[in-house]
Amino acid sequence: MKNKRLEVLFWSVAFPGFGQLLNHQFLKGIFFILLEVVINVYSHFNTAILLSFQGKIAEAAETTDYQWLMFYPCIYTFAIWDAYKQAGADSDTPPLSFLPFAFSAYFVTVGVIYSAEFKVNGVLLGPIWLPILFLIPGIGIGLLVRTIIMRFVAVKT
């Protein structure tokens, strides 16, 4: 069961909706794929990724439609969480395991919000690199909050 969850998790990271397809949730998988494509196209996300990898961060920030891109972290992270959770029986899902996913979505969204102007040592990180950096504390704080709740509050396992 853990190998199935890992497989689904990695395919979901590759593209939202793929994990649902592996879980035989075809309607939900197609919905996530279409939603990802729509948000991707309207936000100009692929162009921003391309420009960011080429070091053209300011141009990537100018190209991005932030009104659309702000939807991406929550849809992306929820699709990953949903596929992960559905890959096993509910009794196999660790309690509160959604917290690192949810906090990641929150933090990456904040990274998107500030990505057009936030600089580190005078360097603009832009709409790709800053949200990725914000993912790290999102996961960490989500795990920390989960640990604190699990330690001090009785959670059904």
pLDDT digits (tens, 9 = 90+) for 32-85: 999 999 999 999 999 999 999 999 999 999 999 999 999 999 999 999 999 999
Report the number of distinct structural domains present in the chain.
1
pTM: 0.90
- Residue position matching structure tokens 């397809």: 21
Q: How far is CA 66 from CA 78, 94, 153, in A?
A: 19, 34, 39
CB contact set of 61 (below 8 Å; sequence gap of 6+): 48, 115, 116, 124, 126, 127
pLDDT band at 92 (very low <50, low <70, confident <90, very high): confident
Q: What is the domain range of residue 24?
A: 2-152
pLDDT at residue 3, rounded to an integer: 83
Each residue's pLDDT tens digit, 132-156:
999 999 999 999 999 999 998 865 5
Residue 157 lies in a domain: no
CB atoms within 10 A of CB 30: 13
Q: Can you give the C-alpha Rg of the chain in angstroms? A: 17
Closest by CA position to 61, among listed 103, 119, 134, 137 = 119
pLDDT at residue 33, rounded to an integer: 98
Q: Are 93 and 18 in contact (CB under 8 A)?
A: no
User: Does 102 score more than 60 pLDDT?
Assistant: yes
Each residue's pLDDT tens digit, 11-23:
999 999 999 999 9
